[in-house]
Structure 1
Amino acid sequence: MAISRRWFNQACLGVAAALLAAACGGGSGDDVISVGSKDFTEQLIIGEMYALVLEENGFTVERKLNLGGTPVAQAAIESGDIDLYPEYTGTALLTVLNLPASSDQQAVFDTVQQAYQAQFNLVWLDPSPMNNTQALAMTEERADALNIRTISDFAAQASSLTLIGPPEFEVREDGLPGLKSAYGDFSLADYKAVDAGLRYRGLVDGEADVAVAFGTDGEINAFNLVVLEDDEGLFPPYQVAPVVRQTTLEANPGIADALNQVSPLLNDDVMRQLNYEVSGNQREPADVAREFLVNAGLVTD
């Protein structure tokens, strides 16, 4: 997804934005809270939201956004290089903890919450209702023409369909191998492996019938796409939540109350719109995050 050079340079250099709120402050005064994020649009937006809300509540914040993928972010929080960052329950379950997939949203959250506390001394705060799970999407016209609304429908016609998506989907446990295990050992007409940013353009231009999607991608709303129902419950939930070092919370207990104000506001439609403001309309993640929080009344303009 598109990120401006200015944002990229700022994020990679970890430019600190330290603002002290003059009023009531939830911060402890001397502590600097390091907020991290991974290296894609949604993470940049949510990481900036966490930073802005903490600043609004009196904390001094250092931004260490755009760190990299999951292993980098996990290593950073374990080492104390960052104090908190947004993480997904499904990623924690499969990638960090290497546990079996589950489609039970509450069970997945309970599992990762308990395991992170026990193994890493990390705390999961309140999860958002949004679910950035993997999915399959089609244009409305193509879905109507083929009468496809579920992944079972897709699997039944797979031999005549072209699927477009990132290369790793061909080998992931919750990618093609998982689909074939859950929905029958079907064969595709073709799988077009492309950079993640090219999936939707290829779909809309007719190069493929179905695209690998993520539930909060902005292009789903922008292109009026149909997300196929995962009727066999293959894909695990990917709710996002702040993950915070226990020692940081103990020293700064107001962090939980501040960040838990953000979580309930982030549902699928909201995140799709915010993501598209960056990926489609080429706006800065920081501007999109601030505008949303100002409108929500959590940050003063």
Structure 2
Amino acid sequence: MLKTTRRLALLALSGLAALVLTPHRASGTESLGGLAKPITVGSKDFTEQFILGEMYALALEAAGFTVERKLNLGGTPVAHAGLLSGEIDLYPEYTGTGLLTVLKLPSSGDPAEVYATVAREYESQFQLIWLDPAPLNNTQALAMTRTRAAELGIATISDMVAKAGELVMIGPPEFQAREDGLPGIQAVYGNFRLKAYKAVDPGLRYQGLVNGEADVAVAFGTDGEIAAFDLVLLEDDKQLFPPYQVAPVVRKDTLEANPGIAAALNALSPLLTDEVMQRLNYEVSGNRKEPAEVARTFLVEAGILKK
């Protein structure tokens, strides 16, 4: 009887010690073998995605989650496949990419309509959930220096098309053949002819533009060089290019097991405007800072992380 009493006392003490020593985990986190299962954050393979992936990971860690990073996975097909297979739990995706590249649906210029479509179809087809989209729009665009645009009186793509014969455009070679490149612009805005198209490596577009080698550059709405060089983006007045708002796309089962993910990442989305993302991208592409450093500094300034 005495041995039994001692054994029970030892078991009770062991259980109490386990409770005291077990680290705190975010409420609702899935468990595997009694341990919290990390939330795996992925990203695609370019500067903005590295920054956003780090932001998502840091915001989740600040909310108490254990996070594993799998950044720089590759292009859209690789990142999307990672979600479907469970290799990752979430990553930043663009509404226009979801609409055109993944779902292969017709383009639309209405941001709310595009978001509603991708949110509905991703959940229905893939059991994936789109969280709140950011205001930023990383859409395809055409850029000019402020001086040259004012000199020629160009503010819209229609204005550019009217003066196309005087203009040299600089951009990647594939823009001459892509459906959302020159052929797409010609189909929507009229079959114009440029003075010349200067095909270069994407990294040389802005250097050529500001050095006067071209009048118009192929751009994306959140490129860091737009703010750094005070460039003008031409208004897409006939809404050729779909909106490319960014949002976290999360596995439905992960979100159901970890409902705090939505609150942590939805708090971040409203802060990500075109101007903010241009500045952050240039910190990496222009000032050669590490994406993780840029992401952390921004989240500290925004009050999401403590110093």
Q: Calculate the TM-score normalised by the size of structure 1.
A: 0.91
Cα distance in 2 for partners of 1:277, 1:121 equals: 36
Q: 1:233 to 1:148 in 2, by over 3 A?
A: same
Q: In structure 2, which of residues 247, 256, 260 is the aligned counterpart of residue 254 of structure 1?
A: 260
1:106 equivalent in structure 2: 112
Tell whether 2:235 aligns with 1:229: yes
2:268 maps to amino acid: V
1:4 equivalent in structure 2: none
Tell whether 2:264 aligns with 1:264: no
SS in 2 for 1:153: helix
Cα distance in 1 for partners of 2:123, 2:25 equals: 33
1:203 equivalent in structure 2: 209
| Superposition deviation, residue 255 in structure 1 | 0.7
1:164 equivalent in structure 2: 170
2:77 equivalent in structure 1: 71
Q: CA RMSD in A?
A: 1.5
Query: Identity over the aligned pairs, expressed in percent?
Result: 68
Q: In structure 2, which of residues 38, 43, 53 is the aligned counterpart of residue 47 of structure 1?
A: 53
Tell whether 2:103 aligns with 1:121: no
**Cα-to-partner distance string for 1:225-247 (whole Å, 9 max, x where unaligned):** 11111111111000000000001
Structure 1 ranges of 4+ moved more than 2 A: 20-29
Unpaired runs of 5+ residues, structure 1, are 1-19
1:270 maps to amino acid: V
2:290 maps to amino acid: E
2:244 equivalent in structure 1: 238
Contact kept, 8 Å, 2:224 with 2:279, in 1: the verdict is yes
2:287 equivalent in structure 1: 281
2:299 maps to amino acid: L
Q: 1:207 to 1:21 in 2, by over 3 A?
A: farther
2:9 equivalent in structure 1: none
1:174 equivalent in structure 2: 180
Contact kept, 8 Å, 1:44 with 1:65, in 2: the verdict is yes
Tell whether 2:158 aligns with 1:134: no
Contact kept, 8 Å, 2:90 with 2:249, in 1: the verdict is yes
| Superposition deviation, residue 208 in structure 1 | 0.9
Aligned length: 282
Cα distance in 2 for partners of 1:74, 1:23 equals: 28
1:34 maps to amino acid: T
